């Protein structure tokens, strides 16, 4: 990765569509780096002046909502046990926890889960499988997707503004910060679930 390569990426007409594709894919496969793509373009918006930060946020929000809606529709049409991976212990625990939490505090869960990869997938599938009305789903998912996009893009922009050393340093630092914050959120959620397990 070099400054020249990142400058070319920032100016490319494919930067935003590629980011959108990664964000949509990330809704289904958590190993796809959707967060890193948004954070990277947020950093480039500050370090290189392109693509525009507002465009990064709007495209990321639309892509996040599209991916989440896709998961919701999969849950609604296929249910929660159609594929073998859904019946594994980790998936079964995540889906069961999401179902229980969605019944108790749907709005909070939909918003919070958008920021946690495995939780996001589980909650969207369960929302569809439990036949949450589409209107209610969209009223919860759209603000969550917008907040997520705003957070990821502004995180990249803020780190790029604070880190000296050029574009490469800004992009690497912003992605590392995003990964660390994401891992911390995952660890906090896992710890909270372990604490609740004996009480269940």
Round the average pLDDT of the chain to a whole number and report it: 81
- % of residues, the chain, pLDDT over 70: 72
| pLDDT reading at 19 higher than 60 | yes
pTM recorded for the entire structure: 0.79
Residue-range definition of the domain harbouring residue 36: 3-199
pLDDT band at 122 (very low <50, low <70, confident <90, very high): confident
What are the CA-CA distances from residue 181 to residues 69, 89, 190, 198 (Å)? 25, 26, 14, 27
Question: Which residue has better confidence, 121 or 81?
Answer: 121
Cβ count within 10 A of residue 138: 16
The number of domains in the chain is 1
Apex CA 188: angle with CA 184 and CA 194, to 5°?
Answer: 145
| pLDDT reading at 11 higher than 60 | yes
SS (H, E, C) the chain: CCHHHHHHHHHCCCHHHHHHHHHHHHHHCCCCCHHHHHHHHHHHHHHCCCCCHHHHHHHHHHHHHHHHHHHHHHHHHHCCCCCHHHHCHHHHHHHHHHHHHHHHHHHHHHHHHCCCHHHHHHHHHHHHHCCCCHHHHHHHHHHHHHHHHHHHHHHHHHHHHHCCCHHHHHHHHHHHHHHHHHHHHHHHHHHHHHHHHHHC
pLDDT band at 93 (very low <50, low <70, confident <90, very high): low
What are the CA-CA distances from residue 86 to residues 10, 92, 111, 115, 196 (Å)? 38, 6, 23, 21, 22
């Amino acid at each position: 990765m070099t400054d020249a390569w990142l400058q070319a990426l920032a100016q490319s007409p494919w930067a935003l569509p590629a980011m959108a594709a990664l964000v949509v894919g990330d809704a289904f496969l958590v190993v796809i780096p959707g967060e890193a793509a948004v954070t990277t373009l947020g950093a480039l918006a500050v370090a290189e002046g392109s693509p525009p930060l507002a465009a990064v946020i709007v495209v990321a929000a639309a892509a996040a909502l599209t991916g989440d809606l896709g998961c919701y529709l999969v849950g609604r049409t296929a249910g929660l046990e159609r594929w073998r991976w859904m019946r594994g212990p980790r998936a079964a625990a995540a889906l069961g926890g999401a179902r229980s939490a969605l019944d108790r505090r749907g709005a909070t869960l939909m918003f919070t889960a958008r920021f946690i990869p495995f939780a996001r997938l589980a909650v969207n599938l369960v929302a569809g499988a439990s036949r949450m009305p589409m209107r209610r789903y969209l009223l919860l998912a759209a603000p969550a997707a917008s907040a997520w996009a705003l957070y990821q893009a502004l995180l990249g922009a803020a780190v790029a503004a604070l880190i000296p050393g050029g574009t490469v340093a800004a992009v690497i630092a912003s992605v590392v910060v995003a990964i660390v914050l994401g891992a911390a959120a995952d660890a906090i959620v896992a710890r909270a679930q372990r604490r609740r397990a004996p009480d269940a």
